[in-house]
Structure 1
Amino acid sequence: MTQPLSVTAIIAVCLVTLALGALGLRLVSGTSDFYVAGRTVSPWRNASAIGGEYLSAASFLGVAGLVYESGVDMLWMPVGYTVGYFVLLVLVAAPLRRSGAYTLPDFAESRLESRTLRRGCAVLVVAIGWLYLLPQMQGAGLALRHVSGLPHWVGVVVLTLIVVLNVAAGGMRSVTLVQSVQYWIKLSAISVPAFVLLAYWFISNGPAPEAGSSWWEPLTSTEPTTRSLFTTYSTLAALCLGTMGLPHIVVRFYTNPDGVAARRTTVSVLALLGLFYLFPPVYGVLGRAYLGDEALADPSRSVVLGLPGAALQGVPAALLTALVAGGAFAAFLSTASGVTMSVAGAIDQDLLRPLISRWSGGDATPAASFRLATLAGVLAPVLIAIWAPPVGISSVVGHAFAIAAATFAPLLILGVWWTRLTALGAATGMGVGGVATGGAALLSVTDALPEGWPSALATAPTAWATPLAFVITVLVSLLTRRPRRWQRTMTRLHTPESVLSETT
């Protein structure tokens, strides 16, 4: 059944996004604006943009659905999402900004002096980006179908067109402006209905949440396919270490003016994420009160959208549904914009420009090649999102975190803090980590593994794959020669900008 108010809210979010992107386009004046917004973004605005980018479909819809489905065992999910930024703050935020790189492949090449490693990193950026884009696109199709009855592919196409227009037109300058506004849209869209629904439930003496004992008590699942304690710690490790390895997150720190601003940005992000994650569990608990045990065929994807209509009637229900629908679409747009930006940057710098230079004997116009890379970057995920059956938002995003934790986290942590790291060691460790977590992801979706530990190891591979990647990286590095200019690079990473300015 069509919900006019919800459709109007989604249209309004789309128009605001396009207007902000057009405004950002007017501010673009060079290549630096396309890739890192001129490195002039203030900590608070950058923190809002990171919040807008990071709070994806998995955060807006998935966390509430997981709490609805599995109870208190899922409360550590928002904790892990937030703590990932604390780990990033402590280990790599400021040195990464001081590296002067535009992207993760840039950092890999400048630190380890290897074009081959750079190309491998670019392939990983695209792979993780596509894995992250798919649930955003399918979530957009779900949201639009829920409120309008339109086919699933319509929402996918609408999202893709808006993202391509914004990213291709203004690059990071437009994306930053869009995401910094969309964080506050999402926070309002999830918090206001939560307060209203909680107040209504309390005042009306609404039904008590109904669930089995395992829903209320942590680590008491009787599912034979899980090992609750192992899965919990492994997923927490993926969220903590994977955050620093997500290409669309790390690239945002290159937009800060200096390392001090990068640290301040991260502290602000922790506050903004902590505030947002107070609200998804509210929907999960109230879902147990108003939606029942089996009311939703796919709770991890639709509990947030379905709760207002189940708890209230008439205009109040329509207004709250419209608010969460608009917020959900803002989540899809902002995250998809950031991921597309990182994928397009990798394709542009490491594939298109070398090919154009080889074929034509000259360099392509940066804006032209970047826009072509943007189109190439969304082609595969949009086709899969249209034709493939729906995927579990949280599970797919979880595998993206796991792959990032086992590949880019060793590169960044050891690259920043260990002077003995070599290009071959980093490449070998990333290869082992990528194959291990990528293979585990494929096995987990085929249902070919027996129940128990084999299934748990494939579903949550970070606890064994990431240590394996670290060990392989260290062993191979000890057996090979480190880069020639490693001392100069490490000095740049760890010397504050104020000291450098005094000595120059």
Structure 2
Amino acid sequence: AAGGMRSITFVQAFQYWLKLTALLVPGLFLVLAWQSDGAPSHAFDEPATFREQRVVRVDDTVDLRITAPLAVTVNGTVDGREHDGTEVRLPAGTHRIDGGTRLTFAGGSEVPAAGRGADDALSPSRAESREERPLYATYGLILATFLGTMGLPHVVVRYYTSPHGVAARRTTVAVLGLIGAFYLLPPVYGALGRLYAPELALTGDADAAVLLLPGRMLGGVGGDLLGALVAGGAFAAFLSTASGLTMAVAGVITQDVLPSRGVRHFRLGTVLAMAVPLMASILVGGLPVADAVGLAFAVSASSFCPLLVLGIWWRRLTPPGAAAGMLAGGGSAFLAVAATMAGYPGQGVWYALLAWPALWSVPVGFLTMILVSLATPGRVPAGTPAVLARFHLPEELRTEVSK
């Protein structure tokens, strides 16, 4: 807030390396521990099992799907029956486990598949839709994250600190490589979590694997230190994204909303940029982080992506077309997000379409933008060909043409 946009750029650059270190160093130690454990790579081809006796507390009602009879010690309610530390042999099929029940699994037991119970208004239906239509859910999330990134404010404003186009393009390529290296790590943690912390799939806390694995695989002070490093990297990620977004939104509020553009009004814009998301987070605090990120990217992909792509590459784009496309694509994705957060319609095909809207909302944004622009050809801004030429000509040639 004190140093401005350039300061935030350096802050995010520093925090990237902090986050990479926080995941890479523990990841290397965990892989070495896995190698010293015999590197049972064949375990990835087999059903997940508990390596040792494990007590699992189920906080929310779940349905466990068991493929073979399973003996488990139960403290709580299973299929409507109360048990007080007694061993129960569950036949193959689906069994309802009430919230607050503790299950003790013996070492070597297969980890049952879990689906949320009907009492949960949001995540159960979302989980069921993902399981019923995994291909649609996967491609919906991929499209949203791929296309939504270009519309994120804290990403777009980074180009304000590039001195010229060559530097901006080099930075883009370099950052894509750095991000690609960073995203090699989550599959490593996911694979190790499946082996050493499989009960997280039952409790719905799979994202806690990165914090639990150091203690599970290494233990002692070393595990605690690596876990602390991972936690520090997580907080660096939170602060990096939050600071960049705060600066970007505060700049927009100061430039386009508030009557003056002084430092005092920028500080007021910063307060507003933090207050509104804070209130929204109170309303949707139960939404899983991964789902919330996917939904936000879907809105960005459906609104800013068509605008940026057509605005840079299509000279017939008009202001009415741009506005209509952003409203149609982004608005439909936003309504889908709102319906998903409200738990509507609950399940089935319609819920899957609303839970991962990018596959249809992005085409809606592009199509609306194109059709409205073609219907308003007289609204193409004057000088559009010259502006697009400046976009695409090399810097050296553009300088000569200007002279």
TM range (shorter): 0.7 to 0.9
2:382 maps to which of 466, 474, 484: 484
1:417 maps to which of 297, 302, 313: 313
Give the structure-2-normalised TM-score. 0.74
Determine the C-alpha separation between the residues in 2 that align with 1:409 and 1:394: 21
Determine the C-alpha separation between the residues in 1 that align with 2:268 and 2:200: 46
1:301 and 1:392 in contact (8 A); partners too: no
Q: In the alignment, which residue of structure 1 is the partner of 2:234?
A: 328
1:237 maps to which of 126, 143, 147: 143
Q: Secondary structure at the match of 1:244?
A: helix
Q: Secondary structure at the match of 2:242?
A: helix
Determine the C-alpha separation between the residues in 2 that align with 1:224 and 1:421: 37
2:129 and 2:352 in contact (8 A); partners too: no
1:179 and 1:334 in contact (8 A); partners too: yes
Matching of residue 371 in structure 1 with residue 277 in structure 2:
no
**1:388 positional shift:** 5.0
1:228 maps to which of 121, 128, 134: 134
Matching of residue 351 in structure 1 with residue 257 in structure 2:
yes
**1:306 positional shift:** 2.1
Determine the C-alpha separation between the residues in 2 that align with 1:390 and 1:178: 30
Counterpart of 1:448 in structure 2: which amino acid? Y
2:33 maps to which of 200, 210, 213: 200
Please list every run of 5 or more consecutive structure 2 residues that lacks an aligned counterpart in the other structure.
Answer: 50-66, 68-110, 112-126
Matching of residue 340 in structure 1 with residue 236 in structure 2:
no
Q: In the alignment, which residue of structure 2 is the partner of 1:173?
A: 6
Counterpart of 2:274 in structure 1: which amino acid? V
Determine the C-alpha separation between the residues in 2 that align with 1:387 and 1:425: 34
Determine the C-alpha separation between the residues in 2 that align with 1:405 and 1:388: 21
User: Aligned residue pairs: how many?
Assistant: 320
1:227 and 1:452 in contact (8 A); partners too: no
CA offsets, 1:375-416, max 9 Å, x none?
110012223435753421111111111111110111111111
Calculate the aligned-residue CA RMSD, in Å. Answer: 2.3
Q: In the alignment, which residue of structure 2 is the partner of 1:140?
A: none
**1:318 positional shift:** 0.9
Matching of residue 305 in structure 1 with residue 211 in structure 2:
yes
1:406 maps to which of 277, 302, 308: 302
Equivalent residues in 2 for 1:75-154 (5 A)? none
Determine the C-alpha separation between the residues in 2 that align with 1:189 and 1:335: 16
Determine the C-alpha separation between the residues in 2 that align with 1:429 and 1:451: 29
Q: Secondary structure at the match of 1:288?
A: helix
Matching of residue 263 in structure 1 with residue 165 in structure 2:
no
2:348 maps to which of 428, 436, 452: 452
Determine the C-alpha separation between the residues in 2 that align with 1:295 and 1:454: 26
**1:294 positional shift:** 4.1
Matching of residue 497 in structure 1 with residue 395 in structure 2:
yes
Q: Which has the larger radius of gyration?
A: 2
**1:261 positional shift:** 1.4
Residues 224 and 421 of structure 1, relative CA distance in 2, 3 Å threshold: closer
Counterpart of 2:271 in structure 1: which amino acid? L
Q: Secondary structure at the match of 2:2?
A: helix
**1:368 positional shift:** 2.6
Determine the C-alpha separation between the residues in 2 that align with 1:472 and 1:296: 43
**1:276 positional shift:** 1.0
Counterpart of 2:172 in structure 1: which amino acid? T
CA offsets, 1:445-480, max 9 Å, x none?
222225332111111111111111111111111111
Determine the C-alpha separation between the residues in 1 that align with 2:305 and 2:200: 39
Determine the C-alpha separation between the residues in 1 that align with 2:285 and 2:176: 35
Counterpart of 2:374 in structure 1: which amino acid? L
**1:224 positional shift:** 5.1
CA offsets, 1:38-87, max 9 Å, x none?
xxxxxxxxxxxxxxxxxxxxxxxxxxxxxxxxxxxxxxxxxxxxxxxxxx
Determine the C-alpha separation between the residues in 2 that align with 1:443 and 1:388: 12
Please list every run of 5 or more consecutive structure 1 residues that lacks an aligned counterpart in the other structure.
Answer: 1-167, 216-221, 357-363
2:129 and 2:351 in contact (8 A); partners too: no
Q: In the alignment, which residue of structure 2 is the partner of 1:149?
A: none
Q: Which has the higher strand share?
A: 2
CA offsets, 1:474-494, max 9 Å, x none?
111111121123233223222
1:473 maps to which of 365, 369, 375: 369
CA offsets, 1:160-195, max 9 Å, x none?
xxxxxxxx2111122112111111111111011111
Q: In the alignment, which residue of structure 2 is the partner of 1:20?
A: none
Residues 224 and 189 of structure 1, relative CA distance in 2, 3 Å threshold: closer
Percent identity over the alignment is 48
Q: Secondary structure at the match of 1:211?
A: coil
Q: Secondary structure at the match of 1:169?
A: coil
Give the structure-1-normalised TM-score. 0.60
Moved more, 435-444 or 380-389: 380-389
Residues 302 and 456 of structure 1, relative CA distance in 2, 3 Å threshold: same
**1:297 positional shift:** 3.0
1:436 and 1:465 in contact (8 A); partners too: yes
4+ long deviations beyond 6 Å: none
CA offsets, 1:102-126, max 9 Å, x none?
xxxxxxxxxxxxxxxxxxxxxxxxx
